[in-house]
Structure 1
Amino acid sequence: MSFSIYDLDENIKKLLNLDNFLNGGTVNDFIEEISKDHFLKAQEVNKLDYLDPKPYIRTFESTLRELKQLHTEANDQTRMSEKQVENYELKHSESVLQLSAKIDKSVKKFDVLDSRISEVTTKINPLGNSLNRITDSRDRSLETIFLIRAYHGFYTKEKYDPLETLRTSSKFEDKTKCAKTVRNLITLSKKIESPDLPKTTKCVQTIQSYSEMMERNLLNKFEVASEDHQFEIMRDIAKILFGFNGGANVVQTFVSKNDIILDPSQEEEKSILDDEVTWQKLSDPNFGEVIKDKATEDILDTLRFEIKSRARVIQQVFEDPEPVLKIFIQRIYAQIVQNKVNTLLQFSLSVSTLAHVRILHILYILVGDFTKDVKEFLATNEFDKENELSSILDQSFYDLFIEYTSDTVYFAREKKNLEEIIYEIVHKFNEYNEKEIANNYLSTKIENLDNFEYNQKNEHASNDRFSFHFSERKRLNQFRTYVKSKLSDKNARNSTDLDRNGQDFEEYSKLNITKVETILKSSIESIARILELAPNKAPDYALEILEIILFDFGKLYIGSGLEIAYDHLKQENVSSKINSTQQFNFDYLTSFNLVSEILFLISSCIKKIILPSAVNSPNIKNRMINLTNGFVSRCELSLNIILSETQELIAARIAFFLTKQKKKDFFCDTIEDDTEACELISDFLILVYTRFNISLNNTNLENVLVKVGMNFLNQLLEHYKKFTVNSIGGIVLTKDVIRYQSVIDEWDIPELSENFQLLKEIGNLFTVQAELINSLVTEGQLANLKPYTIRQYVAKRADFNPSYIERFFSLKH
């Protein structure tokens, strides 16, 4: 009941309802609703001077009371709801306990029932097994009865109609039963057969004839189905025949029916057998491009496609495709691939050894890639679960090339190829330079040095050095025997190469780096083939190739080139002694730089190609290193001997030219041109520098020029001690010295130019006044000379007086 004077408006009372608030209404909504009318009225009242606030205050007071009452009602209702929830939760817990008890009872009943069922099952299983045995026995009895009746039919009437009915039936089960019965009939008839009963033998023959007829009819149907691509029928027949006799005939029929036939006209168009240009390239050691046999590639591509397509057909026709694929693959390799490989390899043998090993390598890679691709296909498509087909493919591939890659065949041809290439170069080179090589001066000198070193310095060393020389000589003797046999064959067929190819023969007159590149490229090519064709023997074969390079080629070509250079050096030396006016020819020095480049090429080839092939064989690798170092050191020793004796020759020639110096050259009254000795020596030194500059480079050039220059300087220092020099002659001597210095300065060696300054200072000893000699010898390079040496030069002054030596020169005797 409300005692307020101001009752609420009906519209507001509708808002003050608990249901309104519980159904989503908010206080803000309520306030907005009750305020909006007054807000409108306020707008109208604003025009008046006075507005009464009491109605608003009273209205909100009433509203507040109603809200409090609603709050109290809401709290009461919440408490009642909580009590109800507690009651319902209690009832739910009671229900759960009751249900749990019922479930426990049900589980116990189930366990009892399960135990009883297990007992029944234990009793029933033996009964089931007995029933299965009885059923099997009944089936076997029926089969046995049918088999005996069939045998009786063939024995008495040579036929059995129910069996024939099964054979002619269109049902798979009937045909299977027929095949199984015939198989058992053959076994039974052979056991019953007796010589005492001739009819049993005839019965065996009749049954076998019937089995052959049955199998033949099935195979005919198999062929017809194969032509129409009826894979389901083919699969049924194959299953029947595999159960009948292992399926050998059906497999053979399938393989024969699916035989791969290549187009012979297309193969002939692409064949390289009649391509002479290609075979010439294959026989050329300088031809480095890859030759492709398009015909063989196309054949292998065709076979690759056919194998993959036939494999899918085989998978649909046969339950176990592996035995069929095995026969199919073996047939392809034996009939198609082997025929192509043998044809090419046999023909290549008639062309050249190089052509043979090259075409062998090409075919080995082609067929190897083909085999690898087929293996991956079979493995990826799960045709080869037991890896049996992979083994068949590997064996088929191995059988293709075993005739050509065996240890006794392949590498012998590889060596023969290298020896033929080396023979072509070495024979012509040796023939052209036969006289110089026969002299063998350098080898004799090196052997003497080796023996001296071994005897004097290595008396307690190992026998490695001796064994190295022994194996070297052994190989050289073998190769010389080979060359002689080749020479005999060539002489028997035709005249010498020099007569036939005089123009081409000129390139073999001296060492040629292109020939070395040919041998090295051929050796690298051989190593590459060995790594593919005989990887297990690669270290041993690589060692033999290294020995061929170092001994057969290195000794007979590079060594002979050094012999020729040394022989020319000797000839120069002899000629200079016989004819002192003959101009020197240093052409043999060109081999110095060339041999250095050749040794660099050979060493690089061995280091980067040959040594890595023996990385897993330390003993062989060490042997390779020792052989290489020994060969290079002997070549370097040869070069050093040639260079050393060239320097001696130069020194002897300079000494000879100094003998042309006349006594009056430095004791004269007039100054003329350079002396004869100075002109000869200057021209000769210019020639020496020119030839050395062409033949040597870098450090080698500078070291040699320093030795030649210092030897020349020492000869001049001794030379000027022999001549009396007057004041005019001193100028002539200084003029010669300046000429020598200008020649030496052209060599652009600061060390040498500085040392030659001593000559000019010695020349000053002959030109300065006597009173100045004392101060002169305390300066420059003269200060480093011994007083006795300086006195030797001063004593050659024309105005020299021994009684005044102490007073003028302050020199000690």
Structure 2
Amino acid sequence: MERAGSSAKSLFPRGPSFSLEDFSSKDFTVRDFIDDLANTAVPANRRSGPAQVQFDPKPLIRTFENALAQLAELSEDLQERESELTSQVRRAEVSHNQTLDTLGRKLDQSIEAFETLNISLNNPGTEVTSESARDTAGGNAAVQIGERLEELDRKRRRARDAGFLIRCWQELSETGQLTSLEDIQKQGNADSKVRCAVISRQLMRISRRLDPISWGQTNGLRNGSSGTAALAPKGHNTREILEKFSETLEQDLLKQFNNSYRRQNFDDMLECTKVLHDFNGGASVIAAFVNQHQFFIDRDQLVNDEVTADSSAWEAIADPDSESPGVEPSLQSLVDEVKIVMQEESFIIKRAFPYYETVLAKFIQRVFQQSIQQRLEAVLEKADSISSLAFLRTLHSSRSYINSLIEDLKSHGLTEHPEPCSAQISQTLDQQLEELFVPYLVGNSYIGREKKNLEELYSSLLLKFTIYHSRRKKPTGHPKAMMLRIAGLKDDQSKNEIEVSEQDGVLSMEYAKRMIRWLAESVRRALELGSASETPKDVSILLNLLLKSMGQVYVETALEAALDQAVSQENSRVEPDMTYLPLIRPAVTITNVMDRFISTVLIRLAESNTTVRRNMEAQKRTGIESIEAKTNNVMKSTVTVVSNWVTKSLNGQKKLDFRPRDGELDSLQTATCLAICTFLSRFQVNATGGLMATQDLSKYVSTLKSWSLTKQVETGVEVLTEVGSLFIVGPEALREKSRNLTSAPAGAVGRKLAKADFKAFVQKRDDSSSVGIQSVLAGL
């Protein structure tokens, strides 16, 4: 507030002066205004001091009289300005109406002229001198007139819409009502609602420019500020009124859209979606279309339904020796229904939405993230409660089936049918598949489950084997019944009650095949469920498990047991028990099978990662060498057992055995020879053993030759050398030796070996079942 100074002295000071700007300030209040006037009226020398003079009202009266006079002048100025603005508005309305009338008359004249021209052109009685030229000229003129008329009609409609828009704004700003617009809305047809939406959107833009106070854009005010300054000049908040009307109109359009959807009126749906897109990007109509879809309403009622409780199906999926029954029936039914619904609704989406790809993407997300995901989680939770294998098989079959759905939808094309899906929709489908299964496949969670499953299966299969050798714990995990069935046990048996036999402690080729088959199934799942970059690490983990379970726990444990039995008999006083020797063959066979599987499957799958592959090769080499070392130790100890027992038996040979008395001869062989031969007949000879047998026979021959033998006996001794070579030569050499055999009965003494003796000796070789040896024996 400014105070006017005085150039001349006066008896009383002049009152303050002010203008309209003083009342337009955002800080203006009536209380402060009165206080300033009162302070101005009291002289400064009377405002303070220890003693106050008697109150004099005259200065206050003069000051307020002066203020009232100035306020009256300002009021008159405002009245004049308002009158002037009102006159301008009226003149503008009159001018606008005159313009509309003029345009209307011109349009009517143009229409009459067009009709007259059209009649003249189509009059058959008109004389034509140059028919083709007149037709061409008349046609061009008609086209030009038609274009001009269309342009005039567009201008007329624009002028009419502009006039209606101005009238609606005047109603809104002066009365706070939208009567004209509401009248159009009440007509109820689709065109009227669309027109209301367009006009309300235009009014919203006008409000933002002409009524910034309602939008909180004047003098720092924000929407919702107290005081009349936050409202339009007439006291109406145009923004709130328009927003309320728009909300009502939007709900009306959504209702119309739903009704049109039920009637399959795609054109009306398209008009609604176009208008609603301008309101909020189409979010409301998309939500209405997706959320209120009958598919979701029906499926929401089935969310809490239990997963199929077919015990036989779950038993089959938890049995590692049976084929997986496939995807769970309720999930399969849902996926099949999704395929049909997606194809049908994509046709509607394409015709009802101008931005149909966005709507289709939202619909896909809702289908996968709500319906399929909820059912998948329920199915996997049920499978996990059965066993680790049931979970993995269910996870694999579910992903395969849903992936087939994705590929079918891509090839169908959906909104692009019959062409394939667009890149955007294909990416959306792939993303939904990934998001469904990423919680189960992220990091090492998946391969960790595969490892846990195989550990449970292997420990169950080898339960009796491990109890026989080391009394290991019972298998953990579920289902307990399935694990005990694999182990061949009853449910009510505890660890200490489990009866085991020697047969439970020997190696079984059938067990090895089952272990390899289970591992191969895990590898196949890992290739389909895991990523290619993680495959080398995954197969490396499975390799470690195989070497530990089959190599160490199974094969090496059996070899260690055999070695302990052999070592314990190296200095035996009784004839050694060689029943442990037959397990050497299955140990070697199982090791060869394991070695080939590792080399041809696991290591080849790790070729993309050189570091991992080399590490796997080193692990395999170490594991195989450990088994070979234990096998060699068993054979070495066995040779020692045999040698020691034969030596002990020969030490018991009596000198008088070869000088029997007449009548005391019960057999042509001594008891020592019979005992040694009987013992050796139980012994299968491998390549190394064959070499040792050859050397022993050579020693026997050289010893016997040192005696004074008859020629006939010496000839028989020479045959022993031929017998020793039968254990070390290959199939081709055996075939050559077989050509020199005689047909004499077994045991006959002569220069040549009999066929029966040849066959008996060769069958003692540990490789006698091979193709090469069998072909030689078959040719005898």
Is TM-score (shorter-chain normalized) higher than 0.5? yes
Contact map agreement 1:744 1:753 (CA 8 A) in 2: no
* Structure 2: stretches of 5+ with no match in the other structure: 1-148, 214-224, 485-490, 741-750, 753-780
Matched residue, 1:240: 275
Name the aligned partner's letter for residue 562 of structure 1.
L
Contact map agreement 2:273 2:352 (CA 8 A) in 1: yes
Give the one of 528, 533, 555 matched to 1:532: 528
Name the aligned partner's letter for residue 515 of structure 1.
Y
Structure 2 Cα separation of the partners of residues 248 and 347 of structure 1 = 37
What's the secondary structure of 1:260's corresponding residue?
helix
- Greater per-residue helix proportion: 1
Structure 1 Cα separation of the partners of residues 633 and 621 of structure 2 = 18
What are the equivalent positions in structure 2 for 1:318-717 lying under 5 Å apart?
Answer: 318-378=353-413, 381=417, 387-425=423-461, 428-434=464-470, 497-502=494-499, 508-536=504-532, 537-574=534-571, 576=572, 579=573, 582-668=574-660, 670=662, 672=665, 673=667, 674-688=669-683, 692=684, 701=685, 703-704=687-688, 706-717=690-701
- Which protein has greater RCO, CA pairs closer than 8 Å, 6+ apart? 1
What are the equivalent positions in structure 2 for 1:735-774 lying under 5 Å apart?
Answer: none
Matched residue, 2:182: 164
Matched, 1:230 2:248: no
Q: Encode CA deviations 1:717-758: one digit per residue, 9 max, x unaligned.
A: 465489x77x8xx7998799699799979989887999xx9x
When normalised by structure 2's length, the TM-score is 0.63
Structure 2 Cα separation of the partners of residues 248 and 668 of structure 1 = 117
Contact map agreement 2:349 2:356 (CA 8 A) in 1: yes
Matched residue, 2:763: none
What's the secondary structure of 1:584's corresponding residue?
coil
Deviation at 1:340, TM superposition (A): 0.9
Structure 2 Cα separation of the partners of residues 245 and 646 of structure 1 = 89
Deviation at 1:538, TM superposition (A): 0.6
Contact map agreement 1:651 1:712 (CA 8 A) in 2: no
User: Percent identity at matched positions?
Assistant: 22
Contact map agreement 1:666 1:732 (CA 8 A) in 2: no
Q: 1:385 to 1:481 in 2, by over 3 A?
A: closer
Deviation at 1:705, TM superposition (A): 5.1
Name the aligned partner's letter for residue 535 of structure 1.
S
Matched, 1:189 2:207: yes
Q: 1:506 to 1:288 in 2, by over 3 A?
A: farther
Matched residue, 1:309: 344
Deviation at 1:244, TM superposition (A): 3.6
Deviation at 1:382, TM superposition (A): 6.9
Contact map agreement 1:404 1:410 (CA 8 A) in 2: yes
What's the secondary structure of 1:687's corresponding residue?
coil
Matched residue, 2:89: none
What's the secondary structure of 1:616's corresponding residue?
coil
Deviation at 1:293, TM superposition (A): 2.0
What's the secondary structure of 1:298's corresponding residue?
helix
Q: 1:572 to 1:189 in 2, by over 3 A?
A: same
Deviation at 1:405, TM superposition (A): 0.8
Matched residue, 1:775: none
Q: Encode CA deviations 1:77-109: one digit per residue, 9 max, x unaligned.
A: xxxxxxxxxxxxxxxxxxxxxxxxxxxxxxxxx
Deviation at 1:322, TM superposition (A): 0.7
Of 398-407 and 248-257, the range deviating more from structure 2: 248-257
Structure 2 Cα separation of the partners of residues 615 and 746 of structure 1 = 44
Structure 1 Cα separation of the partners of residues 236 and 620 of structure 2 = 82
Structure 2 Cα separation of the partners of residues 132 and 233 of structure 1 = 26
When normalised by structure 1's length, the TM-score is 0.61
What's the secondary structure of 1:573's corresponding residue?
coil
Contact map agreement 2:507 2:558 (CA 8 A) in 1: yes
Matched residue, 1:8: none
Q: 1:634 to 1:197 in 2, by over 3 A?
A: closer
What's the secondary structure of 2:413's corresponding residue?
helix
Q: Encode CA deviations 1:565-609: one digit per residue, 9 max, x unaligned.
A: 1111112324x2xx2xx3332221122110121112212322332
Contact map agreement 2:694 2:725 (CA 8 A) in 1: no
What are the equivalent positions in structure 2 for 1:26-425 lying under 5 Å apart?
Answer: 145-169=163-187, 174-190=192-208, 192-194=211-213, 195=225, 196-198=229-231, 202-261=237-296, 273-378=308-413, 381=417, 387-425=423-461
Deviation at 1:643, TM superposition (A): 1.8
Contact map agreement 1:179 1:240 (CA 8 A) in 2: yes
Structure 2 Cα separation of the partners of residues 275 and 135 of structure 1 = 73
Deviation at 1:189, TM superposition (A): 3.1
Of 646-655 and 744-753, the range deviating more from structure 2: 744-753
Q: 1:306 to 1:751 in 2, by over 3 A?
A: closer
Deviation at 1:482, TM superposition (A): 11
Matched residue, 1:804: none
Structure 1 Cα separation of the partners of residues 420 and 161 of structure 2 = 37
Name the aligned partner's letter for residue 684 of structure 1.
F
Contact map agreement 1:282 1:358 (CA 8 A) in 2: yes
Matched residue, 2:73: none
Q: 1:618 to 1:746 in 2, by over 3 A?
A: closer
Deviation at 1:403, TM superposition (A): 1.1
Deviation at 1:401, TM superposition (A): 1.1
Contact map agreement 2:695 2:724 (CA 8 A) in 1: no
Contact map agreement 2:509 2:590 (CA 8 A) in 1: yes
Structure 2 Cα separation of the partners of residues 204 and 157 of structure 1 = 14
Q: Encode CA deviations 1:518-564: one digit per residue, 9 max, x unaligned.
A: 32222211211111111230111111111111134412221111111
Contact map agreement 2:543 2:616 (CA 8 A) in 1: yes
Q: 1:318 to 1:161 in 2, by over 3 A?
A: same
Deviation at 1:311, TM superposition (A): 0.5
Structure 2 Cα separation of the partners of residues 707 and 535 of structure 1 = 53
Q: Encode CA deviations 1:144-181: one digit per residue, 9 max, x unaligned.
A: 55434313212333433432343345776554332111
Larger Rg: 1
Structure 2 Cα separation of the partners of residues 259 and 187 of structure 1 = 38
Contact map agreement 1:153 1:160 (CA 8 A) in 2: yes
Structure 2 Cα separation of the partners of residues 177 and 336 of structure 1 = 38
Q: Encode CA deviations 1:623-664: one digit per residue, 9 max, x unaligned.
A: 322322332233223222322332232222222222232212
Of 132-141 and 552-561, the range deviating more from structure 2: 132-141
Structure 1 Cα separation of the partners of residues 736 and 720 of structure 2 = 10
What's the secondary structure of 2:617's corresponding residue?
helix
Of 259-268 and 154-163, the range deviating more from structure 2: 259-268
Structure 2 Cα separation of the partners of residues 425 and 392 of structure 1 = 45
Structure 2 Cα separation of the partners of residues 390 and 327 of structure 1 = 13
Matched residue, 1:16: none
Q: 1:507 to 1:399 in 2, by over 3 A?
A: farther
Q: 1:719 to 1:385 in 2, by over 3 A?
A: closer
Structure 1 Cα separation of the partners of residues 436 and 205 of structure 2 = 42
Q: What root-mean-square deviation, in Å, do the aligned CA atoms of Structure 1 and Structure 2 show?
A: 4.5
Name the aligned partner's letter for residue 234 of structure 1.
M
Deviation at 1:501, TM superposition (A): 3.6
Deviation at 1:353, TM superposition (A): 1.8
